[in-house]
């Protein structure tokens, strides 16, 4: 059995998605955010997290999700010493899985999914967060 990973599981577009818990700083409820005029489509806006202004990103366009059912929570990550909020519908919990139990993703899901895990009652697509953030960085330049 390989190294055990903890995957934060959340919903987005009626599907289950996951992030390595090591990439996650915290999860907060989205109370309100301020849209930023002229910002790229994937930036919903910015919000105040204990005195720090944090961009709120909708990653659904990178995951080919048509629409989501109300983005209620933000998964806060630290990327290059900057906090970023990733808007999700609901955080479901944390799944523990052996690294060698992550299955290769189907070709149809695109290059933003690292793999797929099966947990009791659901299939979770594990997001390649680094690849999405790299794509966002290159689009901003």
Is the CATH number of domain 4-140 2.40.50.180? Answer: yes
Q: What is the pLDDT of residue 56?
A: 96
Distance, in Å, from the CA atom of 125 to the CA atom of 127, rounded to the nearest integer, reads 6
Per the CB < 8 A criterion, the answer to whether 18 and 126 are in contact is yes
Distance, in Å, from the CA atom of 75 to the CA atom of 122, rounded to the nearest integer, reads 20
For the chain, what are the domain ranges?
4-140
Q: What is the pLDDT along the chain (141 residues), one digit of tens a residue?
A: 579 999 999 999 889 999 999 999 999 999 999 999 999 989 999 999 999 999 999 998 888 887 666 899 999 999 888 999 999 999 999 999 998 889 988 776 667 889 999 888 899 999 998 888 888 877 665
Q: What is the pLDDT of residue 109?
A: 64
Tokens 């899901």 belong to residue: 109
Phi, psi at 2, each rounded to 5°: -80, -175
């Amino acid at each position: 059995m390989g190294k055990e990973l903890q995957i934060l599981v959340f919903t987005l577009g009626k599907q289950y998605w996951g992030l390595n818990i090591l990439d996650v700083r915290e999860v907060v409820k989205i109370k309100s955010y301020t849209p930023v005029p002229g910002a790229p489509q994937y930036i919903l806006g910015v919000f105040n997290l204990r005195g720090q202004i944090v961009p709120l990103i909708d990653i659904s366009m990178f995951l080919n999700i048509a629409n989501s059912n109300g983005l209620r929570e933000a998964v806060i990550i630290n990327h290059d010493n900057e906090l970023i909020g990733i808007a999700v519908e609901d955080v479901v919990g944390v799944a523990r899985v052996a690294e060698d139990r992550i299955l290769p993703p189907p070709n149809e899901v695109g290059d933003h999914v690292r793999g797929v895990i099966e947990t009791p009652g659901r299939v979770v697509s594990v997001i390649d967060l680094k690849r999405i953030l790299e794509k966002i960085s290159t689009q901003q330049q």
